[in-house]
């Protein structure tokens, strides 16, 4: 009996008890939630349903618990049921019932832990979205790891997810960037407000090699050429460094496209008129405003200034409407720590457009430091992603950055991230997986296989050691962990789960042999444990993949 099947059975019994008393009872997921007891002496699963619903159907909670315990004890696969305290129900499953999970995991393979919980729901995930005026740095690294992991757990729960990078390629910063590249090409110092760093010099050298005539052009034409050349090269580098970090975007959306009016009104102009049609646009002080304060924003927002210039918020509005037109049920923005003000304004923008403000989710990521990281030699004042990858590796970075909630400031120890010891969580988890593969390879040598005498020798009733019960209990938690991570947008739950599973596996490995001692025969218990070993390896692979981290065969 799986936890899901047990939960359904508890729900059916509670509803029957309520019906016998003429009570109309609606049960929530929280009412039926099963939890692992802190002490395994209390059983495999614990339920508080009697305490949650007893009074609602007119029965003292402990009396209801006693009745449910009797009914549960008669179910196939249930070994024992006990009532404790004011109405806790502690349930122990038969070894065969609990152990059957191992075979199911092996059978389902990569599908284990995946669900259809969010099937039919479409989500747009926007994250990183750094200006294409310089290399990605440490903060972008965190948003990349978190955003990609959130997308992965959402997909694992059935959602259709599109990962999107908003290219901030419009505005004055692009002109400053182009002027910096042009100045370097002309052998001039960095202009005021420009971008310093060796990467600018490298871009200038590449520009001169490809378009040496830039030196002969008038300032305006030369600036446009330098800006567009530098933009293209820098965006290519951003894409390369993200690919090296195992992060891939489905859509690269250019902010410039929102301003383009070459074929008629720009997307921003169209957006303003659409919002005006909603009755949300008004004029005041010579400017055009959007009534975002009606939807929880701290103030109304200017769309077009008195001098006719559009604001960044106007571009945000046009971009939101573009996403809306593409049909996403939810728009998720992962923004930096200095963007708290965007939470209210983006939700209000959705409301002003006629949507549910809750269709917008804004996640604010806090700052991160890695002690021992060196400032970029090329950029001079930042820690670059490419340097972090060379120093720490993608796996270590991704795991550590996804291991904490987004709103937690991080101060990581770079040397710990590099350490190949059990106090480094990513090593601990990856080593557990490598150990499962080592056991599998040695089992082949020792001729331990699941098949014996032409049949399947797997017998879950043989998995009776306490560490096997603990290990199976951890394996059972994986699907629920993934669903919680997706619902709450918290992939750190997967990382912390994997550490618990790895710990349970290492303890089991120390106590239970898959390969018999030399001279002893291979028995069905060894063959059955081989299946359990394979199940652990599969779940570790599935979980690490949700974090964008590899599962090594050897370490």
Please compute the mean of the pLDDT values over residues 117-140 and round it to a whole number.
96
State residue 37's pLDDT score: 84
Is the C-alpha dihedral spanning 542, 545, 547, 550 positive or negative? positive
Q: So where are the chain's domains?
A: 3-93, 172-230, 420-546
State residue 518's pLDDT score: 87
Q: What is the CATH number of domain 420-546?
A: 1.10.730.10
Q: Which two tokens stand for residue 240?
A: 């390369």
Picking from 273-287, 366-380, 410-424, 541-555, which range would have the lowest pLDDT averaged per residue? 366-380
Q: What percent of the chain shows pLDDT beyond 90? A: 90
In Å, how far are 396, 427, 498 from 416, measured between CA atoms? 10, 10, 18
Query: Distance between CA atoms of 356 and 358, rounded to whole angstroms?
Result: 5
Q: Which two tokens stand for residue 134?
A: 């310089």
Query: Distance between CA atoms of 302 and 434, rounded to whole angstroms?
Result: 57
3-93: CATH topology is Gyrase A; domain 2 (3.30.1360)
State residue 44's pLDDT score: 86
Please compute the mean of the pLDDT values over residues 54-78 and round it to a whole number.
94
Cβ proximity of 164 and 249 under 8 Å = yes
Long-range contacts of 367-370 (CB under 8 A, 24+ apart): 367/139, 367/337, 367/409, 367/410, 368/138, 368/139, 368/141, 368/142, 368/401, 368/409, 368/410, 368/411, 368/412, 369/138, 369/410, 369/411, 369/412, 370/138, 370/412, 370/413, 370/414, 370/417
State residue 497's pLDDT score: 98
Average pLDDT of the chain is 95
Check pLDDT > 90 for residue 338: no
Check pLDDT > 80 for residue 440: yes
Burial pattern 346-378, b for ≥16 Cβ within 10 A else e, equals bbbbbbbbebebebbbbbbbeebebeebeebeb
pLDDT band at 41 (very low <50, low <70, confident <90, very high): confident
State residue 434's pLDDT score: 98
Q: Where are the beta strands (DSSP E) in 18-158?
A: 34-35, 45-47, 78-84, 88-93, 122-126
pLDDT, tens digit, for every residue of 375-416? 777 777 789 999 999 999 999 999 999 999 999 999 999 999
pLDDT, tens digit, for every residue of 345-383? 999 999 999 999 999 999 998 989 999 998 777 777 789
pLDDT, tens digit, for every residue of 130-155? 999 999 999 999 999 999 999 999 99
71 three-state secondary structure: helix
Please compute the mean of the pLDDT values over residues 292-306 and round it to a whole number.
96
Which residues does 550 contact at the CB level (< 8 Å), separation at least 6? Answer: 395, 430, 544
Nearest to 361 by CA among 497, 167, 161: 161
């Amino acid at each position: 009996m799986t936890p899901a099947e047990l939960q359904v059975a508890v729900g059916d019994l509670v509803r029957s008890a309520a019906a016998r008393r003429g009570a109309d009872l609606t049960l929530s997921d929280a009412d039926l939630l099963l939890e692992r007891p802190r002490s395994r002496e209390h059983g495999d699963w614990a339920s508080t349903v009697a305490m949650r619903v007893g009074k609602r159907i007119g029965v003292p909670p402990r009396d209801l618990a006693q009745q449910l315990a009797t009914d549960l004890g008669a179910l196939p696969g249930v070994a024992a049921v006990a009532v404790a305290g004011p109405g806790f129900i502690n349930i122990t499953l038969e070894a065969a019932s609990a152990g059957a999970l191992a075979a199911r995991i092996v059978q389902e393979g990569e599908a284990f832990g995946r669900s259809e919980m969010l099937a039919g729901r479409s989500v747009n995930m926007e994250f990183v979205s750094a200006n294409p005026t310089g290399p990605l740095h440490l903060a972008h690294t965190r948003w990349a790891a978190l955003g990609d992991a959130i997308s992965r757990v959402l997909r694992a729960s059935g959602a259709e997810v599109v990962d999107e990078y908003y290219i901030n390629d419009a505005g004055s910063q692009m002109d400053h960037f182009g002027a910096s590249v042009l100045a370097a090409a002309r052998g001039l110092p960095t202009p005021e407000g420009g971008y310093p760093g060796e990467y600018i010099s490298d871009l200038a050298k590449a520009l001169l090699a490809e378009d040496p005539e830039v030196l002969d052009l008038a300032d305006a034409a030369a600036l446009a050429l330098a800006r567009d050349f530098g933009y293209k090269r820098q965006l290519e580098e951003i894409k390369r460094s993200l690919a090296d970090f195992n992060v891939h975007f489905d859509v690269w959306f250019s902010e410039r496209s929102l301003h383009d009016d070459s074929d008629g009104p720009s997307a921003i102009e169209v957006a303003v008129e659409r919002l005006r049609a909603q009755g949300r646009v008004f004029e005041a002080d010579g400017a055009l405003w959007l009534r975002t304060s009606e939807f929880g924003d701290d103030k109304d927002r200017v769309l077009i200034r008195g001098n006719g210039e559009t604001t960044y918020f106007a571009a945000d509005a046009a971009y939101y409407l573009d996403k809306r037109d593409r049909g996403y049920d939810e728009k998720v923005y992962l923004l930096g720590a200095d963007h708290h003000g965007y939470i209210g304004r983006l939700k209000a923008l959705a409301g002003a457009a006629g949507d549910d403000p809750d269709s917008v989710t804004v996640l604010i990521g806090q700052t991160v430091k890695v002690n021992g990281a060196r400032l970029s030699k090329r950029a001079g004042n930042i820690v670059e992603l490419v340097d972090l990858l060379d120093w720490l590796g993608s796996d270590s970075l991704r795991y550590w950055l996804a291991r904490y909630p987004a709103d937690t400031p991080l101060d990581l120890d770079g040397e710990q991230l590099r350490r190949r010891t059990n106090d480094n969580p990513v090593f601990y988890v990856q080593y557990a997986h490598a150990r499962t593969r080592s056991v599998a390879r040695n089992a082949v040598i020792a001729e331990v296989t699941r098949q014996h005498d032409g049949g399947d020798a797997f017998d879950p009733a043989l998995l009776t050691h306490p560490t096997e019960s603990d290990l199976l209990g951890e394996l059972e938690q994986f699907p629920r962990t993934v669903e919680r991570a997706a619902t709450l947008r918290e992939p750190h739950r997967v990382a912390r789960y994997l550490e618990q599973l790895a710990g349970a596996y290492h303890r089991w490995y120390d106590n239970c042999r898959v390969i018999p001692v030399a001279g002893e025969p291979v028995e069905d218990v060894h063959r059955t444990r081989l299946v359990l070993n394979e199940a652990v390896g599969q779940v570790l692979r599935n979980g690490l993949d949700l974090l964008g981290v590899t599962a090594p065969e050897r370490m």
